Copies of this chain bind each other. A is one copy, B any other.
Amino acid sequence: MIPTPDDVWRAAERIKGIAQTTPLLNSPVLDEMSGCTLFAKAENLQVTGSFKIRGAGNRLVQLSAEQRKTGVVAFSSGNHAQGVARAARHVNCPAVIVMPSDAPQVKIEGVRRDGADIVLYDRNAQSREEIAANLVEMRGAVLVPSYDDPNIVAGQGTTGLEMVQQARALQTTFEHVIVCAGGGGLGSGMSLAFEAIMPGTELWTAEPEGHDDWARSLNNKTLLANPPGTRSICDAILTPQPGNIPFEIARSRFAGGLVVSDEQVKWAMQVAFSHLKLVLEPGGAVALAAALYALPDHMRGSTVGITLSGGNVDPQLFADCLLA
């Protein structure tokens, strides 16, 4: 049930040709601004514009011939949706994605482009879990969870494996790594890789205010949910609470959680625009925002890795964030 570092190495083999190795970027300007030596893992440059293809690819290449015929079902606000749709195209299997009707247009288009069917639902009136469960039953399809699944976690963990390999190639070591956290598939998967091959690295989650379930859960060593009804621009990571498997892995492997405001997220998007020439979506910019505006004192002067976990943002929202 709980994946191991070996599962991460196996996932890395399985997703070759589906996901890409993304660059690890450094910028002297960002070093100056953050007060640390910052290395940013640019998963916004990943296939489908986020790390989610890693987990989806790792899950879908393991489908049986029979399962590839009946296909897969997933629900997601967009990045996991695109990962599943692209992975399904790779293994030539039908996919139905349940998405909220207010999902970013760029994410809906991305799913459609890869040939998946989309079922839109009303976020306030309908349950996506129920819709997906019905589809699974009707079609005999396989549900692909977005984070609470050992294969998804192991797939996302390949991000950490690459970061360690890239740091070594630069003859450097991360003293700290900050990971954007929603359900926690990315961070927990990465922590398996770090524990095995760069065990001295201290890991931190990053989240928007009002959705600090990870920070509170890690702090209290127990799984805590967000109060309902809180809002943030970080659509990609607004999960109700940490995933069960991710939290089980992360609770002993993460030092804690950092929290940033939506305003700080916008500033981080502006910094990525001006100094990295990269497009980040709000949820993909929280770790950068934490490094720039909420860095704990003990990290100053150290070597810090961060994830830039996605770049799927609509032009109007991006323009609004740039000029905010």
Contacts and interface: CB of A to CB of B under 8 A. Distances in A.
A277 B44 contact: yes
Interface stretch (A135-143, A224-232, A245-253, A268-276): A268-276
A300 interface: no
Contacts of A280: 277
Given A23-B23, A29-B113, A113-B29, A45 B318 contact: no
Contact of A318 (B25, B106, B273): B273
Interface string A284-324: 00000000000000000000000000010001101100110
Contacts of A276: 45
A287 to B, nearest CB: 16
A317 to B, nearest CB: 10
- Size class of A's contact patch? 20 to 34
A3 interface: no
Contact of A106 (B44, B274, B278, B316): B274
B311 A315 contact: no
A299 to B, nearest CB: 23
Interface in A14-72: 23, 25, 29, 44-45, 49
Interface of A: 23, 25, 29, 44-45, 49, 106, 113, 270, 273-274, 276-280, 311, 315-316, 318-319, 322-323
Contacts of A273: 279, 315, 318
Contacts of A45: 23, 25, 276-278
Stoichiometry, as copies per complex, reads: 2
A277 B322 contact: no
Contacts of A49: 277
B315 A270 contact: yes
A311 B29 contact: no
Contacts of A113: 29
A113 B28 CA distance: 11
Nearest to A280: B277
The 8 A-B pairs with the shortest beta carbon distances in the complex, nearest first, are A277-B311, A319-B319, A277-B279, A315-B322, A44-B277, A319-B322, A23-B23, A273-B279
A308 to B, nearest CB: 9
A33 to B, nearest CB: 11
A270 B279 CA distance: 11
A259 to B, nearest CB: 25
Nearest to A23: B23
Given A23-B45, A318-B319, A319-B323, 17 more contacts: A23-B23, A25-B45, A44-B277, A45-B276, A45-B277, A106-B274, A273-B279, A273-B318, A274-B315, A277-B278, A277-B311, A278-B278, A278-B279, A279-B279, A315-B322, A319-B319, A319-B322
